Chain A
Amino acid sequence: MKGRVLVVDDDTALSEMLGIVLRGEGFEPSFCADGDKALAAFREAKPDLVLLDLMLPGRDGIDVCRQIRAESGVPIVMLTAKSDTVDVVVGLESGADDYVIKPFKPKELVARVRARLRRAEEPTPEQLTIGDLVIDVAGHSVKRDGQPIALTPLEFDLLVALARKPWQVFTREVLLEQVWGYRHAADTRLVNVHVQRLRSKVERDPERPEIVVTVRGVGYKAGPG
């Protein structure tokens, strides 16, 4: 299993501890303590996953997240001390795939890291259609009328999960479990934010979604295709 993890955190003790835990779980951690240098460190280390503290000296975590997201779809997991809705949503909207609230248990963090990394390892040759979109699961691409649409891996997973069972309405909890790999997660903000992000990319008119349809009071389902 590939396991290069870039830890962007200014707290050296926490970074070191994270390193100990990650190494113990078989990952290869690299570190960066400064927001300004984060992008350079990212390019150099080419990690499979980024652990990003939101409060950083220099450039803050949100900016770093946007920069990385601008050039890569690599999974980003935020570490945040603020569990307020606004902070979390801002972080997710800037491109993070998941977040962990401090203080977290090592096992919890590792579980999330693994969940984000696992996805890349099971390519099954499969062709799906949802609305007027064609999804090549193995090739990891989404096309509309032959034009490719760039999605992050998480958004891709979300779309695939919906497209595989177009007859089924997915509750947020089910999506959390299937896409994020949570067992008892109660936080459905993740789903909401990522559905919005996905819609902004794949819908012709994000105000009137046709691909990812909201079923009021229940959850989401794939649009008629």
Chain B
Amino acid sequence: MRAPYERERLESRLADPMRGLTPVIRSCVRWARRPLQPATRLWRRNLQLRVVAFTLLMSVGVVLLLGFVVIGQVKNGLLDAKEKAATNQATGGFSIAQEMANEGTQSQDGTGANPPQGPIDSGTWLTDLVQQFASGGKGVYWIVALTPAHRDEPTFGEATSNAHGPRSSGSVLPDRSIPASLMHAVETHTGALKQYTTVYTDDGAKPKPALAVGKRLTDINGGTYQLYYLFPFDQEEKTLGLVKGTLATAGIFVVVLLGAIAWLVTRQVVTPVRMAAGIAERLAAGRLQERMQVSGEDDIARLGESFNKMAQNLQVKIQQLEDLSRMQRRFVSDVSHELRTPLTTVRMAADVIHDARDGFDPVTARSAELLQNQLDRFESLLSDLLEISRFDAGAAELAAEPIDLRDVVRQVVDAAEPLADRKGSRVVVRGDTQPVIAEADPRRVERILRNLVVNAIEHGEGRDVVVRMATADGAVAVAVRDYGVGLKPGEATRVFNRFWRADPARARTTGGTGLGLSIAVEDARLHGGWLQAWGEPGGGSQFRMTLPRTAGDGLRGSPIPLEPEDSRRNRAVKSSRPPAVGPGRGPSGAAAAANVPVPRAGAGDPGSPEGSIGGRSAVRGPRIPPVPNASPRVPTADPAALPGSGARVVGHKEAVREDDV
């Protein structure tokens, strides 16, 4: 019963830490990396630091390599010399020992002077021999003598007093100091043999490396024993230590000096480069008279020279362009001004003639009328040109004050009433239940809106024009929607071009100058606002002006979507959804949506160009409420859903659909 549960728990315990640990590790890494960030940034940005660091690293490597090689060489040399000297010394010693043994044997055999010494003598003799030899090489070598008996019983205790024990000088422990392999080799060979070993002493000193040279000899009684010379490397180690210390000191010096040199050298290169970078930045910032200081004739100087040449050429070119553009602006401005005086005369003359036209024959009277009308047009064209040239010259000033856009809209709509009547359109204003306050230049805003409304009426084909206002999120917007011919793909941006006309063949009843929307865009831009257009062929268009509520603030979005909710695409989306989507919508709205033929007005319809001047990423931002007029007029809560919300509008809808077919 418990087992599955246990297993489950175990599994979860195994799995959990892994799952829980990954983010922990990640955050740890992040936490650890954070204090390093300034350093890594410095590393990435500072060429000099990198060069110096690399130089240090590489010189350390080189110095270490050199050190190892040199020390190895010195060590080998020292060892070779030591070995040679040791071998000579030992060979000499061995032959002396053998001679002494031979002499002893002869005297013993020949004279028989000391018979009682006999075989016992061989131990004493050996002790004497060792002492004698050792006294000659104090501090230079130690002597160890091993007898076969000792080798047979290596664990035998008090060696030195025993006749068969090993003898050694300088409190060397023979058993541990002479390696067994050497003992064996010496036993089986006749010549002198040598091996490196470690000498242990019983006086508490540290074990020392040494060279052991040994040989099998015969003692005074003809018995064999082994005699070893042990040469410690004290002197050599001292020498080697000195060499190492010298090398290390030199190496540190070399590395530090190399680092310093690298720092100095890179500074020589990096400083002009940094200077060039700084001056390039200043040039980019518009200070065109900045130049590099050039001294000498090296590569850096060449860099500086060509840099300066480039800056010079740039300055000249920019100056030329500026002059040219200033001249051109000046020319436009001058032409506009110069034209004004003769135009005033012509205008006055035309007025006089026009006033007297009753007495003319019909042809002359009509001519006087035409003259008058065209003079009006000429005049407005001239003033528009002048306005544009003022924008181009950057001379336009914003006289912003808090205004209620509803007043401006009302003025504009009132002024456009005669034109609308002539065209058979109605201008419907929505969203004017609450104040729409913004800091704006009333003259410019009025000009923008007049342009939009007049355009909408002109291109509205006699259908209604809806002006919507909304305010939200630090922005105010006025959108002017018409249901006329609309815009073809790509035209939504081109409408703002100077002297652009949708259809050059179309008759212009009000004789616009072709500069109206260009000026309107500049006006909006001067406020820090947007003027954008949307349109679909046959489905009308919508122009939306968005202004920041406080002059100079940035815009994040617009309270009104650029594409109206009754665009073909939106209607298609809406009608493809179940009716539950819009419970608040009145029956007429639902009917209108349902009546729209879905397939033709598919969402993939390319005919829904959207153009923008300010950037439309935020257009449909979810933060912005679509329509803030949550007024109790429920069925027509969204004015865009049903333009005009009247019988005529339904007719328009059908007309629109006919266009679709």
Contact = CB atoms under 8 A, between A and B. Distances in A.
Contacts of B344: 14, 17, 102-104
Contact of A13 (B337, B338, B340, B345): B345
B357 interface: no
B351 A105 contact: yes
Contacts of A81: 337-338, 340-341
B396 to A, nearest CB: 10
Interface string A6-34: 00000101100110110010000000000
Contact of B351 (A13, A82, A85, A106): A106
Given A84-B390, A186-B443, A106 B348 contact: yes
A24 B401 CA distance: 43
A11 B340 CA distance: 11
A183 interface: no
A182 to B, nearest CB: 16
Interface string B381-407: 010001000100001010001100000
Given A81-B340, A85-B397, A186-B443, A11 B348 contact: no
A208 interface: no
B599 interface: no
Given A81-B337, A82-B337, A84-B395, A102 B343 contact: yes
B110 interface: no
Contacts of B574: none
Contacts of B379: 103
Contacts of B352: 20-21, 24, 106
A84 B386 CA distance: 10
Contact of A14 (B337, B341, B351): B341
Contacts of B401: 217
B136 interface: no
Interface residues of B, number: 23
- Give the secondary structure class of B's interface: helix
Tell which of A18, A24, A81, A85 has the most Cβ of chain B within 10 Å.
A81
Nearest to B382: A103
Nearest to B346: A103
A173 to B, nearest CB: 12
Given A18-B348, A20-B352, A84-B390, A103 B343 contact: yes
A14 B347 contact: no
B343 A17 contact: no
B395 A107 contact: no
B265 interface: no
Contact of A17 (B340, B348, B397, B402): B348
Contacts of A103: 340, 343-344, 346-347, 379, 382
B351 A107 contact: yes
Contacts of B345: 11, 13-14, 17
A77 to B, nearest CB: 14
A207 B338 CA distance: 40
A11 B347 contact: no
Interface in B326-351: 337-338, 340-349, 351
Interface string A91-110: 00000000000111111000
Interface string B552-593: 000000000000000000000000000000000000000000
Contacts of A17: 344-345, 348-349
A109 to B, nearest CB: 8
Interface string A101-143: 0111111000000000000000000000000000000000000
A124 B263 CA distance: 94
Contact of A104 (B347, B349, B382, B386): B347
Interface residues of A, number: 21
Contacts of A83: 386
B390 A13 contact: no
A85 B352 CA distance: 31
Contacts of A20: 348, 352
B404 to A, nearest CB: 12
A13 B352 CA distance: 15
A17 B348 CA distance: 7
B209 to A, nearest CB: 100
Contacts of A24: 352
Nearest to B341: A11
B341 A102 contact: yes
Contacts of A13: 342, 345
Most chain B beta-carbon neighbours within 10 Å: one of A14, A24, A85: A14
Contacts of A105: 347-348, 351
The CB with the most chain A CB atoms within 10 A, among B343, B344, B397, is that of: B344
A50 B217 CA distance: 148
A82 B390 CA distance: 11
A106 B345 CA distance: 10
A217 B437 CA distance: 14
B532 to A, nearest CB: 27
Interface in A166-218: 186, 217
Nearest to A82: B337
Interface in B345-389: 345-349, 351-352, 379, 382, 386
Which of A82, A103, A104, A217 counts the most chain B CB atoms within 10 A?
A103
Contacts of B351: 21, 105-107
A57 to B, nearest CB: 13
B354 to A, nearest CB: 10
A118 to B, nearest CB: 22
B359 to A, nearest CB: 15
Interface in B475-508: none
Contacts of B397: 85
A180 to B, nearest CB: 18
B465 to A, nearest CB: 24
A69 B129 CA distance: 142
A93 to B, nearest CB: 17
Contacts of B386: 83
Nearest to B386: A83
Nearest to A79: B344
Contacts of A18: 348
A106 B341 CA distance: 13
A84 B391 CA distance: 12
A133 to B, nearest CB: 31
A82 B333 CA distance: 9
B446 to A, nearest CB: 9
A105 B395 CA distance: 27
A13 B341 CA distance: 9
B410 to A, nearest CB: 16
Nearest to A10: B341
Contacts of A82: 337
A217 B443 CA distance: 16
B596 to A, nearest CB: 45
A11 B338 CA distance: 11
A107 B340 CA distance: 17
Contacts of B382: 103
B42 to A, nearest CB: 52
Contacts of B346: 103
**Considering the complex of A and B, which 7 residue pairs feature the smallest CB-CB distances, nearest first?**
A103-B344, A102-B340, A81-B340, A103-B343, A102-B344, A81-B337, A17-B348
Given A11-B341, A13-B342, A84-B395, 20 more contacts: A13-B345, A14-B341, A14-B344, A20-B348, A21-B351, A81-B337, A81-B340, A81-B341, A84-B390, A102-B344, A103-B343, A103-B344, A103-B347, A103-B379, A104-B347, A106-B352, A107-B351, A186-B443, A217-B401, A217-B402
Interface of B: 337-338, 340-349, 351-352, 379, 382, 386, 390, 395, 397, 401-402, 443
Interface of A: 11, 13-14, 17-18, 20-21, 24, 81-85, 102-107, 186, 217
9 contacts: A17-B344, A17-B345, A17-B349, A102-B344, A103-B340, A103-B346, A106-B352, A107-B351, A217-B401
